Structure 1
Amino acid sequence: MIISLVGGGGKTTTMFYIGRYFAKEGKNVIVTTTTHIVKPENYMDIDSAKELKNITFGEEPVVIGKDIGEKLSSPDIKEVEAFDKYADIVLVEADGAKRLPIKLPRDGEPVLPEKTDICIVCMGIDAVGEKISEKCFRYEIAKELFGWNKDHVLSTEDAARILTDKRAGFKGINNNKCVFVINKVDGEEDMKKALEVENYIKFFCKENGFDNFRVSITSYRENRAFCDFDFL
Structure 2
Amino acid sequence: MPGARVITAVGAGGKTSLINALADEASARGRRVLLTTTTHMVREPALITDVDLALATLNPVFVTLMNTVEPPAAPDATLRETKTGLVTPGPATPTPNPDVVPLTNTVEPQAASEASLRVTKTGFVIVVGREVADDKFTGPEASDLNRLIRAADLTVIEGDGSRRLPFKVPAAHEPVVPEATDVLLIVVGLTALGRPLAEVCCRLDEASRILETVDLGAQRPGNPGRSAPSHDPGAELLTPQLAASLIKAGYLDNPRLATWVGRRAVVLNQADDAHLDHLGRELAAYLPGELVLLASNRNPI
TM-score, normalised with respect to structure 1 = 0.83
Cα deviation for residue 48 of structure 1 reads 6.2
* Matching residue's letter, 2:24: R
Task: Say if 1:49 and 1:164 are closer, same or farther in 2 by CA, change over 3 A.
Answer: farther
Query: In structure 1, what is the equivalent of residue 39 of structure 2?
Result: 35
Does residue 183 of the first structure (1) align with residue 265 of the second (2)?
no
Q: Post-superposition shift, 1:79?
A: 2.2
For 2:6 and 2:173, how far apart are their aligned partners in 1?
20
Matched, 1:145 2:239: no
1:138 to partner: Cα distance: 0.5
Tell me if structure 2 keeps the 8 A contact 1:49–1:79: no
Larger radius of gyration: 2
Partner of 2:10: 6
Deviations 1:139-187 (A, max 9, x none): 111222231522211110111222233xx13333214211211111121
1:48–1:110: structure 2 CA closer, same or farther, 3 Å change rule? farther
The aligned counterpart of 2:30 is 26
Q: Does 1:63 align with 2:127?
A: yes
Instruction: Answer 1 or 2: higher relative contact order, Cα 8 Å, separation at least 6.
Output: 2
Secondary structure of the residue aligned to 2:22 is helix
Q: Which amino acid aligns with 2:276?
A: D
In structure 2, C-alpha distance between the alignment counterparts of 1:194 and 1:129, rounded to whole Å: 12
- Tell me, yes or no, if the aligned pair for 1:34 and 1:77 is still in contact at 8 Å: no
Deviation at 1:71, TM superposition (A): 1.7
Distance 1:40 1:97 in 2: 18
What is the Cα-based RMSD across aligned positions, in Å? 2.1
Report sequence identity in percent.
25
Find the counterpart in structure 2 of residue 113 from structure 1. 178
Quickly say closer, same or farther: Cα 1:79–1:49, change in 2 above 3 A.
farther
The equivalent of 1:82 in structure 2 is 147
5+ residue gaps, structure 1, are 207-212, 226-232
Q: Distance in 2 between matches of 1:216 and 1:47?
A: 34
Contact 1:98/1:137 (CA < 8 Å) preserved in 2? yes
Deviation larger for 191-200 or 168-177: 168-177
Confirm whether residue 224 of structure 1 aligns to residue 300 of structure 2: yes
Number of residue pairs matched by the alignment: 213
Which stretch has the larger CA shift, 143-152 or 132-141? 143-152
Q: Deviations over 1:105-146 (max 9, x none)?
A: 112111111121110000111111111111100011122223
Q: Report SS of the residue matched to 2:27.
A: helix
Residue of structure 2 equivalent to 1:104: 169
Name the SS for the 2:235 alignment partner.
Answer: coil
**Matches of 1:182 and 1:110 in 2, distance apart?**
18
Q: Which moved more, 1:124-133 or 1:140-149?
A: 140-149
**Which sections of structure 2, spanning at least 5 residues, go unmatched?**
61-72, 74-116, 213-228
SS at match of 1:198: helix
Paired residue secondary structure (2:257): coil
Cα drift, residue 21 of structure 1:
0.8
Q: Tell me, yes or no, if the aligned pair for 2:207 and 2:246 is still in contact at 8 Å.
A: no
Query: Which amino acid is 1:136 matched to?
Result: C
Letter of the structure 1 residue corresponding to residue 42 of structure 2? V
Corresponding letter in the other structure for 2:275: E
**Matching of residue 130 in structure 1 with residue 206 in structure 2:** no
- 1:216 is displaced (CA, Å) by 1.5
What secondary structure, in the 3-state scheme, does the structure 2 residue paired with 1:61 have?
strand
Amino acid at match of 1:38: V
Distance in 2 between the 1:89 and 1:32 partners?
11
TM-score of the superposed pair, with normalisation by structure 2: 0.65
Aligned ranges for residues 165-176 of structure 1 at < 5 Å? 165=249, 168-170=250-252, 171=254, 172-176=256-260
Measured in 1, the distance between the counterparts of 2:151 and 2:299 equals: 32
Distance 1:49 1:115 in 2: 22
1:198 pairs with one of 252, 266, 284? 284
